[in-house]
Amino acid sequence: MEVMAVEVVAAKRKPLAKWKKVSLWILAVVVAIFIIVLISANFYLNRSLPEIEGEISLSGLSEPVTVVRDDMGVPHITAANNHDLFLAQGYIQAQDRLFQMDLSRRQASGQLSEVIGESAVKTDKYFRTLGLRRAAEASADRYTDLGMDALKAFAEGVNLYIAELRENGKWPIEFTILGYEPEDWTPADSLTIGKYMAFDLGGHWQSQAFRQYLLEEFPKEKAYDLFPEYPENAPYIIGKEKLDISKSFASAVIPHEFNGSNNWVVSGEKTESGKAILADDPHLGLATPSIWYQTHLETNEMNVSGVIFAGIPGIILGHNENVAWGVTNTGPDVQDLYIEKRNPENPTQFLYNDKWEEAEVISEPIKVKDGKTLDYEVTVTRHGPVISEFAADAGSDTVLSLQWTALQPSAELEAILNMNKAENWEQFEEALQQFETPAQNFVVADGEGNIAFKANGKIPIRKKGDGMLPVPGWTDEYGWKDYIPYDELPKTVNPNEGFISTANNKVISDDYPYHISHNWAQPYRQMRIQEVLRANDKLTAADMMDLQMDEKNLQAEEFVPQFVEVLSNVSDDRVDEVLTVLGDWDFYDKKAAAAPYIFNVWMTKIGNVLLADSIPEKTLELFSGKRAAIDQLLRRAFDGNPGPWIEEAGGLEEVLLTSLEQTLAQIEESEVKNMDKWEWGSFHQVRFNHPLSSVSPMNYLFNSKGGIPVGGSAVTVKASAFDEKGTVNHGGSWRFVIDMANPNEAYHLVGPGQSGHVKSNWYDNQFEDWADGTYHTTTLKQPSGEELILLPEGKK
């Protein structure tokens, strides 16, 4: 019996062993197929890498052009003349950023639906309504041959690269994924991208709309409590008829609240080198690819290095051998919402000075991928486009139109090209006359030892009103009568203090004769910059880089002691623990500390406790000055004058306690119980997300690196604003420092890297550098690196 049992068991094992062999074989086949797929995918991705060494023949060139990419992938382009230079710049930009360039012109033009589909229709309608492309096309007449020749040569270079791709089929993978090929580039495309940057940096209409909403929905005292200042006289309100702001702008695209920057310039009297030092770090969205493209351009007429928006020729921020410059956003009131009265018997007519005027109706058909073309029309009154009508349920009788300086023809590229060639501050200021929009705070250092500041741009002078609220459009009483004269714009040259700094703060004194803005950034970055610059008379470029990475939180220094005092009598062990952690804090937003985690989330929760239950979420998005307003509410309360928002929420102690409870509840969801173990960087992490990464599994391809813990916050000099998930998606998109003792070299950071090609060595090689503050040096001289020679056709 035992022998038989063994035989039976053996018989049962044979099929099992056989199945195991089959399973292993299948597994091996699957693994082999997977490896083959990976190799094939890798090969497919690599084949579209641009050619960056050797020689390429290009029609349109008159002389050879040398392109050397340094160890950070920055192209150094040397040409015999401007035409060849800008043609080469267009070609090289397209090599590295063609998909980004195409997506940028599509977004600004309202043409995303054509390649993305129905999900982009609302966005397209909004940008068609604004008319950035119409304004760009109208700007062509403002350009001289200098600017137009550069635009045409740049477009020619882009199109030469597109033609190559059409011939060899080696399209960047994004085009393959979305299933389309880009159209030829035009000068209007570059100008439209420029107008988009004015949109991103130059608007305040949403603040007018939000204040109008407050006055419609709340008692005057409560509405005024959220105004930038208490008005002496009640602003104009249109009878009893409500504009229904929350519905009219439900689909509006609102620029990021923290679009701003830091810049400063220090005279040689305060530097170790004895020459001026300049620093600039524009705060914009952090994404892959970077919004900035770094380049060095050289001909016998100019030698300039810096950054430009992908899709535009020249250098907008940077330096040449004689002048360095940087910008921050001035943020002036250059937009007005006009309340229009529509003719009930003719929807294309609007009342003006007791007469019905015919508006312009522009056909803007919107092509939709895998769908029908939408017949869309834009109505433009004498003031500008009717922007409330893109929402389906906007009022039919009362509508809002937008007047905005950026919708007028302008020639910013002309200014940029002249800035690139400037030899001193005087020539630079002369070039600035054509830089009308967006209005920017320029700081400048030149080789003659001058340091200067100018709040430059086209800023309207109103007949009546001050840009606080929408105004009547049926009368000429509230129109724009002129613009602030160029020679009277805010300006400082060689101040006694020995430095100039701006951080989107108020740039004028109270006795300045013209209105510029009601909304200024929270003052903390500017306060910290000035604190550091005043304390040292032997400043170096290294000091400036350290200051750009400074994490001191002066908002916390102001409020934490008061928070502790108000809650010190609360009998709760958890509150006591929080107060102890905050009481021991040095007010630096260090990534490994618990206190910045608590404080920065707490400040967000205070705003939620005060406003979220009373104001719809989409309407709150119009409140561009919300954080500064919350600061002001708290200051008044600490001074013994709590306004209605704090009083109706139960008083200051109740507001702080409730928001703290919400803060702890959020943090404790993902952290250990021990508060001492909490780290700001476990929540606060930088990510440079690709526009296609929101669709899984594209995130694994385009966002190859996860989040990196970083310090700082929205109010530190090291700007790192975060969303509700803790993702740092906004901050110093480019960091730049130069000591004019050696104007041939400067220090740069462009996160996450130069290239938009996922397989490039320079795709995200500056990711960690951005987090750590590791700068690279770029020279105005020819560096060593991979060299590409662009030859006139037929001379290879």
Please list the active-site residues. Answer: 261
What are the DSSP calls for 550-569, one per residue?
--B-HHHHHHHHHHHHHHTT
Token look-up 């699957």 returns 30
Element spanning 451, H or E: strand 451-456
C-alpha–C-alpha distance, residues 355 and 683, integer Å: 59
Place of tokens 């988009």: 196
The answer to whether the annotation marks 537 as part of a ligand binding site is no
Residue of 146, 133, 142, 152 lying closest to 191 (CA atoms): 133
d(CA 657, CA 110): 46
Nearest to 304 by CA among 322, 318, 320, 321: 320
CA distances from 454 to 263, 324, 329, 504 (A): 12, 14, 12, 13
- Strands (E) across 314-406 are located at 317-320, 323-329, 335-343, 346-352, 355-358, 360-363, 377-380, 398-404
Contact (Cβ atoms closer than 8 angstroms) between residue 637 and residue 646 = yes
Cβ partners under 8 Å of residue 511, min gap 6:
none
- For residue 62, the tally of other CB atoms under 10 A from its CB is 12
DSSP for 711-730?
Answer: --BTTSSSBEEE-TT-EEEE
State the DSSP string of 193-208: HHHHHHHHHS--HHHH
Is residue 325 within 8 A of residue 318, CB to CB? The reply is: yes
- Cβ atoms within 10 Å, residue 118: 12
331: region left, alpha or beta (phi > 0 left; psi from -120 to 50 alpha):
left
333 is in an annotated binding site: yes
C-alpha 493/C-alpha 593 separation (Å) is 41
Q: Which of 772, 719, 712 is nearest to 281 (CA)?
A: 719
Q: Which backbone phi and psi does 481 adopt, to 5 degrees?
A: -100, -20
Residue in the block written with tokens 């250098």:
315
Contact 638, 565 (CB under 8 A): no
Residue 698 token pair: 């594209």
The enclosing H or E element of 576 equals: helix 573-583
In angstroms and rounded to an integer, the radius of gyration of the C-alpha atoms of the chain is 29
Q: Residue 78 and residue 713: Cα distance in Å, rounded?
A: 40
Residue ranges of the binding site: 333, 336
Residue ranges of the binding site for Ca(2+): 333, 336
